Structure 1
Amino acid sequence: MKKFFSLLAIITLISVSNCTRLPENDDPVLGIWSKTEISAVEDRMSSSIEKEEWIFNDAYLGRYHQYSQETLTFSTDFKWTVDNGVYSIVYGEESIEDTTVIINMDDDPEQLEFADGGIFALRE
């Protein structure tokens, strides 16, 4: 009898695990988006490079990175949702303001834009 219940438990576990698959997400926002700002330092005749990077994955999660002169200075996770083409980005860090953007696939490279048309990030 123990063998029967063990077999039944194994079959139940296999059945449940096969039914809990996440649907495939092929949203156009998936991938890496970035914004780079280069500012000249007048005193030294050099430049400062600041870069922000958003990595969107298919589980509606992502990773945000800030770089200064190619050195990682800050990193945090974020969650994202999409509703009628409007993407909401909610950061895990309270010091960063949550953002809503839309995707513009007409330009090359593709752009994430604020509602007023300002550029948020470009696809890498």
Structure 2
Amino acid sequence: MKKFFSLLAIVTLISVSNCTRIPENNDPVLGIWSKTQINSLEGKQESTQKEEWIFNDAYLGRYHFYLGESLTFYTDFRWSSDAGVYSITYNEEELQDTEVIMNISEEHEQLEFADGGVFAIRE
């Protein structure tokens, strides 16, 4: 019995010591980004559309689409960064993959398309 516990202790020690550290991801894009659009028609109520991207440190994320207060669509996405260009690849074929850059000013932080159009603003 003593040999069994000694062997178990050695195996446990080797297993714990061989574990590798997961590199920490401190990319500035981590967090919640959103874009809100308010549509108003003459004589009718306003309708609000909100898109939300949640970037996490495992190079994955979640996309939400709200119509008014109701969540109408969501999907996962993968993201990567190369020389300041963020590539977003969606799991759904309905959404087009996108490349954006980050623009940080004193007023706000935003993700922009290459032509300067706003993709999303940090919440």
TM over 0.5: yes
Aligned partners of 2:41 and 2:21: how far apart in 1? 52
2:12 to 5, 10, 13: 10
1:1-124 to 2 correspondence within 5 Å? 1-17=3-19, 20-44=20-44, 46-106=45-105, 108-124=107-123
Long gaps (5+) in structure 1: none
Aligned residues: 121
Q: Any idea what the Cα deviations from partners look like across 1:67-119, whole Å, max 9, x if unmatched?
A: 00011011111111000000000111111111000000125211100011111
Long gaps (5+) in structure 2: none
Identity in percent: 58
**Structure 1 stretches of at least 4 aligned residues deviating more than 3 Å after TM superposition:** none
Residue 21 of structure 1 and its aligned partner are, at CA, apart by: 2.2
SS in 2 for 1:112: strand
What TM-score, normalized by structure 2, do the two folds share? 0.91
Provide the aligned C-alpha RMSD in A.
Answer: 1.3
Letter in 2 for 1:34: S
Aligned partners of 1:65 and 1:16: how far apart in 2? 39
